[in-house]
Structure 1
Amino acid sequence: MKKFQLIALVNLIFLFMNATPGNAAVPAKISYTVTFPEAQAHYAEIEMTVSGLAQPSLELKMPVWTPGSYLVREFAKNIESLTATANGKAIMAPKVNKNTWHINTAGLTSVTVKYKIYAFELSVRTSFIDASHAFLSTSGVFLWPKGMLASPSTIKIVPYKDWSKVSTSLEKVGGDAFTLTAPNYDILYDSPIEVGTQDIFDFDVKGVHYDVAMYGGGNYDKERLKVDMAKIIEAESAVFGENPNKHYTFIVHNKLRNGGGLEHLSSTVLGASRNQYSSEAGYKGFLGLVAHEHFHLWNVKRLRPIVLGPFDYETENYTTNLWIAEGFTAYYQNLILRHAGIAGADAFLGDMVGDINTVENTPGTKVQPLAESSFDAWIKSYRPNENTINTGISYYDKGAVVGMLLDLEIINSTNGKSSLDDVMKYMYDTYYKAKKRGYTDAEFKAGFEKFAGKNLDDFYAKYINGLAPIDYNKYLGYAGYKLTDDLANSMDPTIGASISNAGPKKIVTAVIRGSAAWIQGINVGDEVVSIDGTPVTDATTIMNGKKIGDQINVTVSRDGQAMIIPVTLLRNPRQKNRIEELPNATPKQLAVRAKWLKL
């Protein structure tokens, strides 16, 4: 370092030593008040105050998507009547692009902004308000000041009428359930809020407190749920060696028909059918959802692809690793139920067969590689159309299958010493805890190879980045199993189109790539009127008495015009697989099986 640089550095040090706290910049203070004067009409009113300003302008922004749901949803579309005041006077707050409002703050130290939010889409990722409750998906409710994502904020909830409860993972201020605080916007946008009269029960698991907020009623058994949810939580915590939360909140929306879930750092939102809890299949389905979303508190919320945090809330955040983030979580939701003793080994194998059948009966598995499915989530996964089955594969389903393959590979290669659990814990410890960042493709691949003890270039080329048919029997064979397709020798014919049987009109809803309907040009939206002149009254009986090679004349109505399309029937390629034991399994195969299934 040159001499003049040293002198300048010394002078700079003395300058900071002489600075007083009074000279330091004071961070802006941000607060929100949420009221519901028209809850019955699905509106909330937000008052946002930013004080301590010392800048010439302020830009307020609304996220365009919510983390965990990879689709630009344009939440700003729900904002109405935004106004701004300062010193008791109205000031201009023009909208300058789709999700940004600009305010001139020269000479101002505080600005208050008021706006309305319309919320009438009850899903795990969007907000909903009516007279019975409010669900605030925070990324679509609260504006943030540009440049202040790291700033703390407080949120005051003013309840509507008889609303008496707030459920959220945000910390309370002074013990007041209706006054909340967030240390930064990443936490605020990752902490949904349920307000109303929801039924709340709680339990503790090894020092971590859990609240379960049930909206919409239902035939659930609280005591049974407490026991089984605790088993799931313990089994998942064992994978990673710790539970990083002090408290965690489940928000459950029970409707006549509902489903899905969305993970958050210290909470999750689940959709359930209110009467599903009384059947074993329905109850197990709910526990699988619990296992899936709770597993995310490690896998994705902490152990994450490097691009998924810190987030850019204004544009897409692309990753090729959702097959790990979501697919492995889908695999573990079934494995955890087995390891927790909630599901038997046969039930777990049946769940895996379900994923295998979905993958093998989706023509798009031969078109779209798994990594590409992840990357294209933003434009395909959340925007399915009539041709989706032909063009893509779900990173959930195929990711779960690949998770199974890698688990079996590692168990077999290490003679039962290690499993996929060890990879997950190693990656969590290394990247989340030690390096405090996300992982790259190459780093996770290296993690697999570390525990498999072998190079996985070929595996990646075939199953992650390529389109090779999966060699199920190689991997299942490690555990003394094989995959059997009960329809392998079937000679059933098919037209190759899905036809709705719900109403009087039989409408084509999908056409399978390479099928007879595909080749001959039957279209989605066609009304199937008759087959060989016989009116179609039941779409399920179209193939009765038919065989492969038969030519049939299909009369359809397209855009109000009748046309006859000759179709030569082809073999139905649908698979119906099952996993069965190999005869005379070796001691090693049985050991792998025992490790895998915790027998």
Structure 2
Amino acid sequence: MFGKKAAIGLVVLLALGMTAKSEVKIGFEVSFTEPQAHYAEVEMNIAGISKDFIDVKMPVWAPGSYLIREFSKGVEGFKATSAGKALRVEKVRKNIWRIYSAKAAQVKVNYRVYAFEISVRTAFIDASHAFLSSTGIFMYPDGYLKSPSTVKVIPYSGWTKVSTGLEPVSGSAFTYRASDFDILFDSPIEVGTQDVFDFMASGVKHEVAMYGGGNYDKEKLKVDMAKVIEQETAMYGENPNKHYTFIVHNYATGGGGLEHLNSTVLGASRNQYTTERGYNGFLELVAHEYHHLWNVKRLRPVALGPFDYDNENYTANLWIAEGFTAYYENKFMLRAGFINSDNFVTRMGDAVAGVENTIGAKVQSASAASYDAWIKQYRPNENSGNTSVSYYTKGEVIGLLMDLEIAHATKGTKSLDDVMKAMYLQCKTLKRGYTDAEFKAMVEKISGISFATFYEKYVNGVQPADYTTYLGYAGVQVNNANAGKSIPYLGVASKKTEGKIMITSVARNSAAWVDGINVNDEIISINDVPVEAAIERMPVITGSKVGDVLKVTLKRDGTTRDFKVTLKASPNIKLVSQIDPNATDAQKAVLKRWMGI
């Protein structure tokens, strides 16, 4: 029998345990003594963990970027002390340092991080600024991911600003708090002299931190970024943030973005803002990364949180998480008024053609591409185009087809918008991510039809998109401009390196593939015409006919050789899309619901 005294004793023990856990305090101080050499100095103070040893760990990857990046490779000079006395430290795993703390009440950890990789997902420090991508800077005590922490930033001399989505600590300059390590690891920090401006959109304050200068117009950006944000918020019915931070890195050439819970990091070209193409390209990036507030960060595959920071986190649903986000950036640009309906349908045709012209799309499914992201998406090689497809591009096309199928099945009363909103609310209610079966079930519930065959063909299979049928639902006519043409095609991609034209890829079943041209061959001439630039555009090829035999002279491993290559026809399609002015009322209803304008 479990007696009353025993019960009281258990309650006391539990209370003491809870108190002890609540007294755990973890604080960081980041400073920069040699930013020109790309270093950050990190001091980590741990209090309230009374154990024989403490394992301190650094993440091996950054959520949102599905590649093991081994951030611990940048760590130097790891040491630990207590009350001024050195503690023994042992490296027990590639990303784990074991501190033999002997139940010390307080432990201080010091280490340096070398940060010199420019990207939106990796830390970078130089004399002008510090970008702290948190998974590559901060560590955590094993077993204490749910513990709160504070971060104090000590800017280098002349640096005056810190931009981050973390909550500031009142009364302490450049000091921030995170309720747990998932929040800390999801909150990048920009330190320097960045140009900062803000605006309100959807009832939320948005801060923009511009590093690197540029020809941007702040007042114009305030208005136009707000338009995109308001369209996205309108679709989901609510904005989940109290404040949001855009960290924008402007370089001579830049691109890419990485989403976070209440912030994002964007890469941009500093002189892109004054051309329509460049400006709209930036707004598309804003639309994409901001949409991740819902799709990925909250409406997410069940595998993507809580995170395992030591290992890969596998999901077969990145075609939804990233592919649908790529699809919706176009819809939001349309709804915000930055492109028109004709631009939109042209983009959709181009998206379909891009996937259909990817040979690997006939080999790898969208779900397989998602699952294999860790070994393929970020590690492409010379044969990747023949064996794989991007879950971004394939997911974008699946989003298009699914959207049109839902709108058609419901006679223009529902669309993929309704599915996304319903799944967002479901994840919010259940406080967890969705399974593949749950997402499919919601699609079927909203549309009222089975999507079993759809999934078999397009999600888990590699069947080409029936784009004429699907776009036809909305009264969009699509024609292949290459239909009936016999376009000569060698089937290679090349790059000029140190004055040499080198083969970088060979398309499966192309003339080059069949007749033995290899990657890393140096192309000297074709029919004795010197090769000096893009091979496929050479008159000796464009002026030939399918079936013609060409002499290709190349150098392989220092030896010059001649190959006879029989030209084959290009398999690529070129789609021309336009809205039918004579569309039926049913088609117009689908078109209206699909575009949302």
- TM over 0.5: same fold? yes
Distance in 2, matches of 1:597 and 1:20, equals: 56
- How do 1:476-555 and structure 2 match up within 5 A? 476-501=471-496, 504-538=499-533, 539=535, 540-541=537-538, 542-555=540-553
C-alpha displacement of 1:521: 1.3
Q: Is contact 2:87–2:101 with CA below 8 Å preserved after alignment?
A: no
Deviations 1:449-506 (A, max 9, x none): 0111111110000000011111011111110112211111222211111123576321
Deviations 1:352-396 (A, max 9, x none): 222112101110010001100000000000001111111111111
Q: Which moved more, 1:306-315 or 1:588-597?
A: 588-597
- How do 1:106-117 and structure 2 match up within 5 A? 106-117=102-113
C-alpha displacement of 1:409: 1.1
Q: Is contact 1:165–1:177 with CA below 8 Å preserved after alignment?
A: no
User: Which residue in 2 is equivalent to 1:281?
Assistant: 277
User: Which residue in 2 is equivalent to 1:272?
Assistant: 268
User: Which residue in 1 is equivalent to 2:578?
Assistant: 580
Q: Is contact 2:152–2:174 with CA below 8 Å preserved after alignment?
A: yes
- How do 1:554-573 and structure 2 match up within 5 A? 554-573=552-571
Distance in 1, matches of 2:164 and 2:579, equals: 46
Q: Is contact 2:211–2:248 with CA below 8 Å preserved after alignment?
A: yes
2:190 alignment partner AA:
E
Distance in 1, matches of 2:253 and 2:12, equals: 66
Given the alignment of the two structures, is residue 14 of structure 1 paired with residue 8 of structure 2, yes or no? yes
Q: Is contact 2:553–2:563 with CA below 8 Å preserved after alignment?
A: yes
User: Which residue in 1 is equivalent to 2:337?
Assistant: 341
Normalised TM-score (structure 2): 0.97
Deviations 1:105-135 (A, max 9, x none): 2241111111000001121000000110000
1:534 alignment partner AA:
V
Q: Is contact 1:125–1:262 with CA below 8 Å preserved after alignment?
A: yes
Q: Which moved more, 1:166-175 or 1:343-352?
A: 343-352
Distance in 1, matches of 2:14 and 2:300, equals: 41
Q: Is contact 1:472–1:482 with CA below 8 Å preserved after alignment?
A: no
2:8 alignment partner AA:
F
Pick closer, same or farther for the CA change 1:17–1:114 going to 2, 3 Å.
closer
In structure 1, stretches of 5+ residues that fail to align are: none
Deviations 1:410-446 (A, max 9, x none): 1111122111111011111112x21100000000000
Distance in 1, matches of 2:483 and 2:191, equals: 53
C-alpha displacement of 1:342: 2.2
Distance in 2, matches of 1:400 and 1:328, equals: 5
Q: Is contact 2:346–2:578 with CA below 8 Å preserved after alignment?
A: no
Q: Is contact 1:166–1:177 with CA below 8 Å preserved after alignment?
A: no
Distance in 2, matches of 1:448 and 1:395, equals: 19
Distance in 1, matches of 2:173 and 2:216, equals: 26
Pick closer, same or farther for the CA change 1:116–1:446 going to 2, 3 Å.
same
The counterpart of 2:29, out of the listed 30, 33, 43, is 33
Pick closer, same or farther for the CA change 1:544–1:424 going to 2, 3 Å.
closer
- How do 1:170-249 and structure 2 match up within 5 A? 170-249=166-245
The counterpart of 2:455, out of the listed 450, 460, 483, is 460
User: Which residue in 1 is equivalent to 2:115?
Assistant: 119
User: Which residue in 2 is equivalent to 1:415?
Assistant: 411
Distance in 2, matches of 1:336 and 1:400, equals: 14
Q: Is contact 1:484–1:580 with CA below 8 Å preserved after alignment?
A: no
User: Which residue in 1 is equivalent to 2:93?
Assistant: 97
Pick closer, same or farther for the CA change 1:591–1:175 going to 2, 3 Å.
farther
Given the alignment of the two structures, is residue 376 of structure 1 paired with residue 392 of structure 2, yes or no? no
C-alpha displacement of 1:333: 0.5
Deviations 1:63-120 (A, max 9, x none): 0000000000000000001111112111111111100101112241111111000001
Q: Which moved more, 1:578-587 or 1:192-201?
A: 578-587
Q: Which moved more, 1:50-59 or 1:263-272?
A: 50-59
Distance in 2, matches of 1:150 and 1:594, equals: 46
Distance in 2, matches of 1:435 and 1:36, equals: 43
Distance in 2, matches of 1:71 and 1:20, equals: 40
Pick closer, same or farther for the CA change 1:430–1:21 going to 2, 3 Å.
closer
Identity among equivalent positions (%) equals 55
1:562 alignment partner AA:
T
